[in-house]
Structure 1
Amino acid sequence: MARRVFASDRLPLAERYTELLATEGVVRGLIGPREAPRLWERHVLNSAVLAEAVPESSTVCDIGTGAGLPGLVLAIARPDLQLTLVEPLLRRTTFLDEVVAELGLDHVRVVRARAKELHGASTFDVVTSRAVAPLERLLGWSMPLVAPTGALVAMKGSSVRDEIDEARAFLDRWRCAPPEVLEAGVDVVDPPTTLVRVSWADPSRIGWPLARTSERRRDRRNHRAVKREVS
């Protein structure tokens, strides 16, 4: 199955990363010992199929990446992407830096921070995450990082539709488009990976609070310019 999601020249990198997860990852408390025997099926392949939902040559931000799931796996599978891995804990970012250096992943940047620390400073074509938080909270952390024509693409479980229902008011207030529930890795992983994709309803009218503040400032400037022209 691994050969269906990793090209022949990328598979050795995926194998080495999985080996590091099973050894250093366990020793450093990044992966539970019971997870080591099932890393491929439960974690690596499950993350790799996310690539199906990421457009070519995208900039991608993986928030709360932990030991690199799914962001580092995505970087191994897709060298055409520019990846930013965001993680607040030093022991995790140290591990990520070491893996990135060993595997020669020069299209990956590791940032020790919380997602909200990047708000207003950076945006990305795709913002990913895996088992980080319920959708409403995840939207608050992720959507400020989503470019006007980009999307949040989060790995979710079987309760994703309930999470969407609970986040309706938030989605409306932030001017998000209706979420899409997707299945990735059909015939590759069992069960397939469930994804939720959220984009902006209108790329010209971003809804998160700082964006609305900027929008109001722009509108006031335009209004003053019109008044000057009329006078």
Structure 2
Amino acid sequence: MPADLAGAARTLFGDRLDLAAAYAELLVTDGVVRGLIGPREAPRIWDRHLLNCAAVAERIPPGAAVLDVGSGAGLPGLVLAIARPDLAVTLVEPLARRTAFLVEAVEKLGLVPSVRVVRGRAEEAVSGASGGEPLAGDIVTARAVAPLDRLTAWCLPLAVPGGRLVALKGASADEEIAQHAVTVSRLGGGTPEVHRCGEGVIEPPTTVVEVVRERVVGPPRSKSTKRSRGGRRR
């Protein structure tokens, strides 16, 4: 860990800093070899990845059930589980090689049973189509997965009513909100809000866009639905 980041790391991880360091080592070794982390990212694993993700913990209430969609190498889901042992975290990832890494990392870091890995897409996780039970969480996280409109369509149905999508975004956050706010509302979400996490601890702070699930929206009507003679659908 770079010496200039040690203070921020202690603030964000507390007495679990050694566990965070063990995860960082997995990322820069197995993660790079297995193609989950680019070789150029290894020197920046703390500031660009671990601290950036850990700062988001301030937006998550105590004891929350968290679903991390498109978890990849475990960012931000595994980082949040390390920083916040009170959370129950489910890592949702469709690719086999990534889920294999996640399962091994969870076991090596001793995070069972507070962290579990589910292989599948967000759309499948909602209904349990991937073979398991349907998933739902108080908080649904995602990092570098998709633009806000698609992300909301995939992730918001996984949040319980009143739960939140917490999406890690960069400089495009305000632009995405302006472009997709109408779609977010149509999908049952409230007004998207931008929050800066880790101010005064990391520079730059982590930018997140939060969307509350205000309404449960059913699936779109099929175009093939026929009308009866009276004009009613049947």
Please give the TM-score of this superposition, normalised by the length of structure 1. Answer: 0.87
Using the aligned pairs only, state the percent identity.
57
Paired residues, number: 207
Find the counterpart in structure 1 of residue 183 from structure 2: 170
From 64, 69, 73, the counterpart of 1:58? 64
Q: What's the secondary structure of 2:47's corresponding residue?
A: helix
- Aligned partners of 2:92 and 2:119 also within 8 Å: yes
From 219, 231, 234, the counterpart of 1:209? 219
Provide runs of 4+ in structure 1 moved above 4 Å: none
- Alignment RMSD: 1.3
Pairing 1:103–2:109 present: yes
AA partner of residue 73 (structure 1): V
- Aligned partners of 1:70 and 1:129 also within 8 Å: yes
Find the counterpart in structure 2 of residue 93 from structure 1: 99
User: Pairwise mapping of residues 24-173 of structure 1 onto structure 2 (< 5 A)?
Assistant: 24-106=30-112, 107-120=114-127, 121-173=134-186
Please give the TM-score of this superposition, normalised by the length of structure 2. Answer: 0.85
Structure 2 unaligned spans of 5+? 1-7, 128-133, 222-234
- Going from structure 1 to structure 2, the CA distance change for 1:208 and 1:130 (only over 3 Å counts) comes to farther
Deviation at 1:208, TM superposition (A): 4.5
CA distance in 2, matches of 1:179, 1:189: 24
- Aligned partners of 2:153 and 2:187 also within 8 Å: no
Find the counterpart in structure 2 of residue 188 from structure 1: 201
- Aligned partners of 1:176 and 1:207 also within 8 Å: no
- Going from structure 1 to structure 2, the CA distance change for 1:6 and 1:178 (only over 3 Å counts) comes to same
As a proportion of its length, which structure holds more helix? 1
CA distance in 2, matches of 1:99, 1:17: 7
Q: What's the secondary structure of 1:2's corresponding residue?
A: helix
CA distance in 2, matches of 1:68, 1:140: 21
Find the counterpart in structure 2 of residue 5 from structure 1: 12
CA distance in 2, matches of 1:94, 1:84: 14
User: Pairwise mapping of residues 9-24 of structure 1 onto structure 2 (< 5 A)?
Assistant: 10-24=16-30
- Aligned partners of 1:127 and 1:151 also within 8 Å: yes
Deviation at 1:174, TM superposition (A): 2.1
